[in-house]
Each structure stands twice: as C-alpha cells, then as structure tokens.
Amino acid sequence: MKIDFPHRQFAHCESGVTANLLNYHGFPCSEALVFGIGGGLFFGHVPFFKINFLPLTTFRVGPGGIFSKATKRLGIEVVKEKFRDPVAAEKKLDHLLQSGRPVGAQTGVFWLPFFPPAYRFHFNGHNLVVIGKEGDDYLISDPIFEETVRCPSEDLRKARFAKGALAPKGKIYYIEKMPEHFDLPSAVIAGIREVCRGMLKTPVPLAGVRGIRLLARRMTRWPDKLGEKKTLLYLGHVIRMQEEIGTGGGGFRFLYAAFLQEAAGILENDRLLELSEHCTQIGDLWRDFALLASRVCKKRVTIEDSFEELAQLLNRCADEEEILFNALATEIK
Amino acid sequence: MSKSLEYELAEMIIDFCNVEDVAPEDVSPETALIGPDSPFGLDSLDAVEVVVAVQKTYGVRIGGEKTSREALQSLRTLAEFIEQEKEEGHLDA
C-alpha cells in the first residue's frame, strides 16, 4: 500500500516535511514560506548544554517548532503522539497508513539505512514522512533525498526509538483537518514577529544577536582554554550546524531571505524585498565566517592568524542582524 | 576529459581546496563531489569552500532551497547548475 504523495527534495528536513505535508493536503507552498511562517530562523549558543560532547549552537528553532507553529498559524488541526511501547507505536503508524494518511515522524539519523554510512551520525531531530508499507518495508518521503526511499520496519523502529539527546520516543504527527480559508498575511506576520522577538528581545544572553556576540567572545578564548584539538572540534561543530549540507553555508539566512521575498508579495510590501536583499548579504557574511572557520579546521590557515578575524566576522553578523530585525519589526507593526 | 566546464571546475576545486595528488583529468564528472566517495577527498567542511569558489569564479550563487545539495552532487551537476544559472541570467553582481 502506497499513498500517492508528491515528494519534493528540500534543503532542511523539518520545513521540507511540513511543506510536503501541506502540499499533499491542498496547500501548495514552498519550503521558505513554511520556514518563515513557522518562525524557523534563530540563533542560540548554550555552552553548558552539550550534544555529542560539544556545546549547542543552533541557527534555527528546536525540532518540532516549525511544524507546530506553521500549522497553528495557518489554522490547521494536527495530531502529535509519542509512545513508550515500540509495538504500539508501529501499530498506530500502520493503522494511519491503512486509512490513507501520510504520517510525519521524528527519528534518529544513525539507524536509517538509506543514509550513506558516512552521514549516519547520532542526531535524533531528523524528520521524514511515512507514505506506505510494502511487505516489511516502509515507504518514506525524506526531503533530504531526491527520490522516495524504503526502510525495513525493524530499522525504522530503532530510528523512532533512538536513545540520547532529543530522543524521539516514537513521535509521529499528522494533519487532521485543513481549514476552509487561510489567513496567509496574518500567519506571515506572526512568523516574522516571532523571529524578530527571538533575535532581539531574549531575556538571556544566549540567544539572538546577544547569543552571536557571546559566541564571538567565548570563541576568542577557546585556543588558550581548550587547546588546539578541542578548539578545532568546537569550531567544526559550529560550522556543521551552520551549513547542515544544503543551506549553502548561510545558517538558514538564505532560506529566510527567500521567505522575505515571498512575504513581500503576500503582504504587498516592497520594503520586504530590500530586507530580503539585506538578509542575503548577512548570509554571505555568515558564509565568510564558515569559509574561514573551515580553513582553520583544515589547517589551511593557523588558529593564531584567524581567531580575531572570526570573532570580528561574528560581531559583524550580530550588528547586521540587529539592524535587519529592527527594520523588519518596524515593517510589521 | 576535454577542457570542458567540468574540467575547469576540477582545476578550480583542486586549487581552492588544496587537493594534492589528484589531476583534473583523473576525475570522472559523474563521481561524488563530497563525501567518502569523493576523488578530491572533500567533506562537508569543504562544501562552503566550493560554494564560494564557484561564486567568485563564475558569479553564480549557490544557496537557495535545495540547490546546494543538488548542485554539489558531482562535477557534472555543478557544471549543469552553473550553465543553467547563466542561461537564466542569475548572475551575482
């Protein structure tokens, strides 16, 4: 049994899954639009919260946030469930598929056999859509891949119940009911407002532009405090989170620029086109940072020659983002 | 391989990414550009280097939705992407 599900490949798993599900349910949309309405853009640096022994640095909101907020803002009714028992979780999934419903699932990457071995790392925040079952194989629309893929049920079970940070606990989610009408402008404004708040008005200095400046300050101390080996590990982790293969090295800023371009049309506000341009330029700055950082990691330049410049680039990103999001907040007042 | 765009790209990658012991003529345009099967030995950290090199050399920006992953699959896909962007006039100022 296979649901006739229009699979599209995207840059990022959760916004891709959300866009594909909305498209299936009759709301054609781009990944950028979903990302923006879901308030996907963010920055956070939490030195004391470690993933794989490395401090958390993120360029987008946490797992599940984009789907939850995008659907809520569009007035779509969704169901989300977690399970303790893998057998019950599989039964429920099979039941939903039998009833013809594509089902989103959070999984660990490590257990998914269709990922090339080199990319199977311990990350539990991956999202995909299960669109059918044939024999003992599930049929899967994973937006990271060009085509739909197959996954043996035992492997999907392990991926759905992977242990560790962000453990998915069998989490599934699906669309229960679409609204008769969408208030797209309001959804777009709500998404922009949330991102502006997250980047400018956070109560703790770990997030938003303050978080970027915190990372810049701490980074200059890494070589002395951590030594070369650990410094390079920390730095490599930051740029892997920023690049996430597919976003072009701009830490989701290019994707957000594409959203602002669409938002300009939806809100009939040409000023957003200028701000989209600015967002692209900020993506370029982030990419300059990633480029220099990757050269440091590859030992093409030395730590001593580069860390001041890396910190300066981060501070420039923070300054420019402060200007951008203040301007954006003014536009949607 | 003749002096095609794929060949030029291979030369550019070898230069920008400091790849040693690989000649452009040894690389098939179809093989993976990044990852364990890459003849250049490129990993995800090198992806940014290639993206910037393409923008500087050809004035073509890689970085929208899904284009980065698609374009960076092989020398062939990268060449096709650059040619398509040029045809459509999507050149970076």
Helix axis angle for A86-98 and A153-160, nearest 10°, is: 120
Which residue in chain B has the smallest CA separation from A257? B64
> C-alpha angle A163/A114/B62, rounded to 5°?
105
Order of strands, sheet of A77-81, starting from the edge strand that comes earlier in the sequence: A77-81, A172-177, A103-107, A126-134, A137-141, A149-152
Asked if the structure places residue B92 within a domain, the reply is no
Check CB contact under 8 Å for A245 and B68. Answer: yes
Q: What is the pLDDT of residue B64?
A: 60
What structural domains does chain A harbor? 13-37+77-177 (3.90.70.10), 184-331 (no CATH)
The pLDDT of residue B92 is: 67
Residue in chain B lying closest to A33 (CA): B65
pLDDT in the model for residue B43? 82
Task: Answer for the pair A129, A20: CB distance below 8 angstroms, yes or no.
Answer: yes
Q: Domain count for chain B, please give it.
A: 1
Amino acid A316: pLDDT = 98
E-state strands within B2-92: none
Measure the CA–CA gap between A29 and A228, rounded to whole angstroms: 45
Per-run averaged pLDDT (10 residues), chain B, 93 residues: 82 90 91 85 84 89 69 91 87 63
Average pLDDT, chain A: 92
- Asked if A254 lies within 8 A of B69 by C-beta distance, the reply is no
Domain membership of residue B80 (yes or no) is yes
DSSP state of A118: G
- Say whether residue B35 is in contact with chain A using an 8 A CB cutoff: yes
Q: Residue B48 sits in a domain of what CATH number?
A: 1.10.1200.10
User: Which pLDDT score is estimated for A115?
Assistant: 86
Does residue B37 form part of some domain?
yes
Intra-chain end-to-end CA distance of chain A, in Å: 49
Residue A237's pLDDT is 86
Q: Is A121 on the interface with B (CB under 8 A)?
A: no
Does residue A160 surpass a pLDDT of 80? yes
- What is the distance in angstroms between the Cα of B45 and the nearest Cα belonging to chain A? 6
B36 contacts in A (CB within 8 Å)?
116-118
Mind listing the pLDDT tens digit for each residue in A67-126? 999 999 999 999 999 999 999 999 999 999 999 999 999 999 899 999 877 677 778 889
Q: Is the Cα dihedral A160, A38, A99, A24 positive or negative?
A: negative
Closest-CA distance of chain A to residue B64, Å: 6
pLDDT at A244: 59
- For residue A246, is pLDDT > 80? no
- Using a CB–CB cutoff of 8 Å, tell me whether A255 touches chain B: yes
| pLDDT over 90 (residue A322) | yes
Does the beta-carbon distance from A11 to B69 stay under 8 Å? yes
Report the pLDDT value the prediction gives residue B2, as an integer from 0 to 100. Answer: 45
ipTM surpasses cut 0.85: no
Q: For residue B51, what are the domain limits?
A: 5-87
Residue A196 contacts residue A329 (beta carbons within 8 Å): yes
Assess contact for A308 and A329: CB atoms under 8 A.
no
Would residue B79 count as lying in a domain?
A: yes
B34 interaction partners in chain A (CB closer than 8 Å): 245
**Best interface-test mutation with A: which of B65, B69, B73, B85 has the largest number of A CBs within 10 A?**
B65
pLDDT, tens only, A221-240: 999 999 999 999 999 888 88
Using alpha carbons, select from A105, A102, A126, A107 the residue that is nearest to residue A176.
Answer: A102
- pLDDT above 90 as % of chain A: 76
CA distance B3 to chain A (A): 27
- A267-288 pLDDT, tens digit each: 999 999 999 999 999 999 998 9
The residue with greater pLDDT, B39 or A319, is A319
Q: State yes or no: pLDDT of A327 exceeds 80.
A: yes
The answer to whether residue A245 neighbours chain B at the CB level (below 8 Å) is yes
Domain assignment present for B48? yes
